[in-house]
Chain A
Amino acid sequence: ETGVTQSPTHLIKTRGQQVTLRCSSQSGHNTVSWYQQALGQGPQFIFQYYREEENGRGNFPPRFSGLQFPNYSSELNVNALELDDSALYLCASHLAGFTDTQYFGPGTRLTVL
Chain B
Amino acid sequence: DTGVSQDPRHKITKRGQNVTFRCDPISEHNRLYWYRQTLGQGPEFLTYFQNEAQLEKSRLLSDRFSAERPKGSFSTLEIQRTEQGDSAMYLCASTIDPPDEKLFFGSGTQLSVL
**Do A and B assemble together?**
no
